[in-house]
């Protein structure tokens, strides 16, 4: 018959085994999620470019279009350009440059135009940025809004910010933004006249922005390694309990 002390040991062992096994299953699930995401990204990137008139207007439809290639025609709303601070590209810290692109009356998309370095001596100093005034054609891929970094205090305003909430920014600027963003992949092309099948707009001169956007990495081996460790710990706890609470007392 088990004493009170042995009941406590048994309960602790069962809880530890259940917890470590659950953590192992969670790591396997994380690996599966990353594999599914990578497959989805590759599949959508291989599809033909999405027509501008098919661009999503609802969050649910936008999620189904993430990572699709497209090219949007509109005018930059340069006065609403925002610089997201502490963003890295190629191991360097700088700004993500975000500018709304007006597609039509009461219709705009937030464009992640690229990355620019930060002045190491003056955080508030912003390099000159060439932004065409007329209509442009912007190539890119549909993407979620930029990820948010840890931020102390209330959300910032002004041109330089740590994070950007798309809905709050739309209300602040008085712009109707689609529930998605465009990651620009190449320089925009000014459209002095309507483009047709026989003419190709010349690309805009180099604007100094880098566009080597980070991609989702398929590092599932890390999660498999963690899962093995959790399952091994679960097996070790089980073995120690069986040895010290069952086999060893019987041998005595």
**Short-list 86, 108, 104, 106, CA closest to 95:** 86
Widest distance between CA atoms in the chain = 95
Q: Classify residue 246 by its DSSP letter.
A: I
Q: Is the Cβ–Cβ distance between 201 and 139 less than 8 Å?
A: no
Question: What local confidence, expressed as pLDDT, does residue 122 receive?
Answer: 85
C-alpha pair distances (Å), 239 with each of 18, 37, 243: 14, 37, 6
Weakly modelled stretches of the chain, pLDDT under 50:
194-198
The sign of the torsion formed by the CA atoms of 43, 45, 51, 54 equals positive
Phi, psi of 218, rounded to the nearest 5 degrees = -100, 70
Instruction: Report pLDDT for 152.
Output: 65
Residue with tokens 């989702």: 216
Where would I find the H helices in 139-191? 166-173
Q: Are 188 and 114 in contact (CB under 8 A)?
A: no
- The pTM score is 0.73
* Residue 148 confidence (pLDDT): 84
Residue 129, pLDDT score:
87
């Amino acid at each position: 018959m088990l004493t009170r002390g042995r009941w406590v040991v048994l309960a602790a062992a069962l809880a530890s085994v259940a917890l470590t096994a659950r953590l192992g299953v969670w790591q396997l699930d994380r690996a599966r999620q990353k594999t599914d995401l990578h497959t989805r990204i590759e599949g959508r990137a291989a599809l033909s470019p999405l027509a501008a008139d098919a661009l999503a207007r609802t969050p649910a439809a936008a999620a189904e279009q993430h990572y699709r290639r497209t090219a949007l025609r509109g005018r930059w709303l340069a006065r609403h350009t925002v610089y997201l601070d502490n963003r890295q590209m190629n191991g360097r810290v700088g700004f993500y440059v975000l500018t709304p692109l007006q597609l039509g009356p009461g219709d705009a998309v937030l464009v992640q135009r690229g990355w620019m370095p930060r002045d190491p001596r003056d955080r508030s100093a912003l390099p000159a940025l060439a932004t065409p005034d007329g209509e442009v054609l912007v190539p890119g891929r549909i993407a979620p809004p930029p990820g948010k970094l840890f931020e102390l205090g209330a959300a910032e305003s002004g041109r330089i910010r740590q994070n950007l909430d798309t809905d709050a920014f739309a209300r602040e600027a008085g712009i109707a933004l689609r529930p998605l963003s465009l990651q620009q992949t190449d320089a925009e092309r000014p459209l002095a006249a309507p483009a047709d099948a026989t003419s190709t707009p010349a690309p805009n001169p180099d604007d100094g922005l880098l566009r080597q956007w980070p991609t989702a990495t398929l590092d599932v081996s890390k999660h498999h390694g963690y899962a093995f460790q959790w399952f091994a710990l679960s097996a070790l706890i089980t073995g120690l309990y069986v040895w010290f609470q069952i086999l060893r007392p019987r041998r005595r």
